[in-house]
Amino acid sequence: MKDILIKGGVGVIPTDTLYGIVGSALLPDTVGRIYKLRRRAPEKPFIILISSINDLNLFGVKLDQFTKNFLETNWPNPLSVILSVTNSKWNYLTCGTKTLAFRMPDNKELLMLLKKTGPLVAPSANFEGEKPAETIKEAKTYFGDSVDLYVDAGKLSGLPSTLVSIKNRQIRILRQGSFTDF
């Protein structure tokens, strides 16, 4: 699995919340492929899974002390945080927003995978606007043979990650998901 993802492959795997369709966030062609597979509007950035706060350095994220403390206190968890990414190198990810949502998942196996593959885009495994796949069988109805691997972890159901933004030391909940402990 690791080698497939490092080489630009796309897979459906369990995340800390739901099944995700994942691929390297560092490879523009892979990200573009996932947009097409999910039939996602091109102006909507994906959430990026990372293995540590240090991964934010890859994207040129500059953390103020308040935000750094917030992340260190609340990660890993099903909590996605929108942060400023201004380097034009990442335009294929930011889609003109100059921001990206990052999550350090609360799942040891997934964190180990991320340490080996680097950051992964990880939207839920479904077409945009459709119900997220709860099983690999459901994921295959969406993507069939168009992805390179499937990892079956049985039925996964629940809420997506909570999505927040932080500006001027204020935390704003944009999507209430499974994380509520802050």
- Report yes or no on 78 lying in a domain: yes
**pLDDT at residue 159 in the model:** 86
- Distance from C-alpha of 134 to C-alpha of 138, rounded to nearest angstrom: 7
Per-residue pLDDT of the chain (182 residues; tens, 9 = 90+): 899 999 999 999 999 889 999 999 999 999 999 999 999 988 899 999 999 999 999 999 999 999 999 999 999 999 999 999 999 999 999 999 999 999 999 999 999 999 999 999 999 999 999 999 999 999 999 999 999 999 999 999 888 899 999 988 999 999 999 899 87
Contact at 8 Å (CB) between 136 and 19?
A: yes
Q: How far apart are the first and last CA of the chain?
A: 34
- Report yes or no on 182 lying in a domain: no
**pLDDT at residue 87 in the model:** 92
- Report yes or no on 138 lying in a domain: yes
Please, is 150 exposed, middle or buried when counting C-beta atoms within 10 Å of its C-beta (0-12, 13-18, 19+)? Answer: middle
**pLDDT at residue 157 in the model:** 84
Please, is 142 exposed, middle or buried when counting C-beta atoms within 10 Å of its C-beta (0-12, 13-18, 19+)? Answer: buried
Q: The pTM is what?
A: 0.95
- Report yes or no on 37 lying in a domain: yes
- Report yes or no on 122 lying in a domain: yes
| Domain containing residue 38: CATH number | 3.90.870.10
Contact at 8 Å (CB) between 169 and 66?
A: yes
- Report yes or no on 129 lying in a domain: yes
Domain count, the chain: 1
- Report yes or no on 135 lying in a domain: yes
**pLDDT at residue 182 in the model:** 75
**pLDDT at residue 134 in the model:** 95
- Report yes or no on 181 lying in a domain: no
**pLDDT at residue 168 in the model:** 87
Q: Domain containing 111: what range?
A: 2-175
